Amino acid sequence: MNTDHIDEIVSQWRRERPDLDPSPMLVIGRIQWLADALDAALRPPFAAAGLGNGEFDVLAALRRAGAPHTLTPGQLSHRMLVTTGAVTKRVDRLIARGLVYRATHETDARGRVVGLTPAGLKLIDRLVEEHLANEAALLRGLTDRERADLERLLETLARTVDR
């Protein structure tokens, strides 16, 4: 499906149910289509590295945390907007690949932290460069002004949906 198909869907609803306003589909339908298209366009570098989106998110969250690149499972859960159970599964897969480790929290012997290994740091640094270049390429059709407007509008929509 391309986005022109969304115009067609809305036209069909206008014809079949003129009592309804299908115009929200012009926004929501396109956002849903874009989410799928963006996921397909952004996934290949992760897949080439043998990672799923979730594992990339773990590595990226740890890298963004700054040195020593460690977070508790709860912090990872919060930063990635997933359950601690999902974090555990992702971390287990990354440990098996030697990209992260678990250790005892230095100030709380009962607590655990997850950290990047040197191999994990090297991989995420390479992947984030590819990822940001890929994202920039996907936005190349927008002017700086259009991009700023879109950022603002999406932020407003996100706040509205979050209420």
- Rounded-to-integer distance, Cα 98 and Cα 115, Å: 11
> For 47-69, how does the pLDDT look when each residue is reduced to its tens digit (9 = 90+)?
999 998 899 999 999 999 999 99
Q: Which CATH class is domain 5-162?
A: mainly alpha
Residue spans per domain, the chain:
5-162
Supply the mean pLDDT for the chain: 92
> For 115-132, how does the pLDDT look when each residue is reduced to its tens digit (9 = 90+)?
999 999 999 999 999 999
pTM score of the predicted model: 0.82
State the pLDDT at residue 2.
Answer: 61
- Rounded-to-integer distance, Cα 102 and Cα 111, Å: 10
DSSP code per residue over 95-151: HHTTSEEEEE-SS-TT-EEEEE-HHHHHHHHHHHHHHHHHHHHHTTTS-HHHHHHHH
Does pLDDT of 139 surpass 60? yes
> For 8-52, how does the pLDDT look when each residue is reduced to its tens digit (9 = 90+)?
999 999 999 999 999 999 999 999 999 999 999 999 999 999 998
